[in-house]
Amino acid sequence: MGNLHPSTIPALGHLEPGRTKWHRVTLPGVALADEARPVTTITGAKPGPVRFVGAGVHGGEYPAVETVIRLGTELNAAEIAGTVVLMPVLTLPAFRQRRSFVCPVDKVNPTGVFSGDPDGTSSEQMAHALLNEFVVHADAYLDLHGGDIPETPVPLTICRAGNEPVDAKAIEVARVFDLPHIFTEDWWLYRS
């Protein structure tokens, strides 16, 4: 994927090398029809990997949302290779209503329903659309969380565990953040 330049992400249309672009994207799904999400793309002047960075899976994770917004203003398209796709708020209803942990539309914690269902609840439709419209077009997906309303943020990274090349790459990316804790999990290997 990273060798295509400019990157091909159908939901975003044409991405011009060396440019930052702001989008409003409505994800497919009946339950998502009225929720245009802000998305920023920074398409580097040079070819390289596609990185998708999302935040706001939970409504009150303001530090993560702010981080993604700042990335959109601080990354310089002329200085990077590849494309960075930023979506600061994934679960809009929870963000709008300042609800922690669950989406107020369906009372579901979105982290528990990935990879989603195109005919399911609002959270399931969001997860399915996110994966199929964005993540499948990326070489790496970073899901930023942090300090939902009643939580105290602890600096850590959680990434996949296993013996595949993608698992080694996940550890490599996790170390880039230089955080005091890295947890590896293999629970998704057992999900259907």
CATH number at residue 138: 3.40.630.10
What region, left, alpha or beta, does residue 122 occupy, with left being phi > 0 and alpha being psi -120 to 50 degrees? alpha
In a domain, 114, yes or no: yes
Q: In this structure, what token pair is assigned to residue 180?
A: 């005091």
In contact, 184 and 159? CB cutoff 8 Å? yes
Q: What are phi and psi of 78, to 5 degrees?
A: -70, -20
Q: What is the pTM of this model?
A: 0.88
Q: What is the pLDDT along the chain (192 residues), one digit of tens a residue?
A: 544 666 789 999 999 999 999 999 999 999 998 789 999 999 999 999 999 999 999 999 999 999 999 999 999 999 999 999 999 999 999 999 999 999 999 999 999 898 999 999 999 999 999 999 999 999 999 999 987 777 777 888 888 888 889 888 888 988 988 988 888 887 554 444
Shared domain for 70 and 102, answered yes or no, is yes
Q: In this structure, what token pair is assigned to residue 106?
A: 């369906």
Burial group, residue 22, by CB count within 10 angstroms (0-12, 13-18, 19+): exposed
Q: How many independent structural domains does the chain possess?
A: 2
Instruction: Establish how many alpha carbons lie within 13 A of residue 168's alpha carbon, considering only the half-sphere containing its beta carbon.
Output: 3
Q: CA geometry: angle at 57 spanning 27 and 131, to 5°?
A: 45
In a domain, 3, yes or no: no
Of 152, 168, 183, at which residue does a domain stop? Answer: 152
In a domain, 63, yes or no: yes
